Chains A and B, each alone.
Chain A
Amino acid sequence: MKALNQQKTELFRNILFITLGSLLYALNFDLFLEPGGISSGGVSGIAMIIVYAAHPKFLTVGILNAMINIPLFLCGLKKIGRHFFFGSLYSTVLTSVFLDLFARILPVPAVEPLVAALFGGVFMGVSLGLVFLGNASTAASTSSRA
């Protein structure tokens, strides 16, 4: 019984970390990285470049992020295991939804590029760290090769 409770606590803790990390990631992306034209690397960086270059009508950064990430996770499903897979899937979906939501409701701040790069870097590292501590990953390209 105690083991079950412990498992539940850990699951709750993981979900909390993943949720907070994904929220911060999306917030940081929309406030610092995208306005500054700063690529964070990884899939969302590629998505940002595609949206900027092509202005696709129905594709937003969030949708593109999910579209590229989810197939990559599926490729790596066997290697990374079920738990890590579902955590990362949850993180990807949450990040994508929040990316589009924040882009719609938040104003685009005019920040100095260097400041945006520094703060964007710090917040990105912290948000990725939170998701990692929740035993998941936001970057499919990382996990599919791990």
Chain B
Amino acid sequence: MKLKFRNFPIGKIILCMDLTIAVITGVVYRDFNNTLYSVIAMVVSSMALDRVVYGMDYSKVALIITEKYEAIATAIDSQLDRGVTLLKGQGYYKRQDKMVLLSAP
């Protein structure tokens, strides 16, 4: 399968298979509504699946641009359960060097 449809992403192959099954369901049950209901169920289930699998490991990244980066970095490091990285930045207009704090859990 993979070799034959190499440039066809797996999600699309599965989608095609599922849609085919939905159509066959309608034919077998002799009711087109069964096809439509099946498609609804498939769409909803893929949304719920993503929620369950990817919904749990979200994370927020903060970028902080400030003069008092040293104090804030120390505070984050000592009081929060997050890591800090210092990035060297430069303002576009005045070409002024500054520090950017990048903080992620």
Assuming the contacts A37-B29, A130-B52, asked whether A121 and B43 have C-beta atoms less than 8 A apart, the reply is yes
A41 adjacent to B37 (CB under 8 Å): no
Q: How far is the CB of B11 from chain A (nearest CB, A)?
A: 10
**Bound-state Cα–Cα, A71 to B50, Å:** 27
A37 adjacent to B1 (CB under 8 Å): no
Is A87's CB within 8 Å of the partner chain B? no
Identify whether the interface residues of A are mostly helix, strand, loop, or mixed.
Answer: helix
22 A–B pairs (Cβ distance < 8 Å), ordered by A = A39-B21, A39-B24, A39-B41, A41-B21, A49-B24, A117-B38, A117-B40, A118-B40, A121-B40, A121-B41, A121-B43, A124-B48, A125-B44, A125-B46, A125-B51, A126-B52, A132-B49, A141-B14, A141-B17, A142-B10, A142-B14, A146-B10
Chain A residues with CB under 8 Å of B29's CB are: 37, 52
Q: How far is the CB of A36 from chain B (nearest CB, A)?
A: 6
> Which residues of A are at the interface with B, using a C-beta cutoff of 8 A?
33, 36-42, 45-46, 48-49, 52-53, 113-114, 116-118, 120-126, 128-130, 132-133, 141-142, 145-146
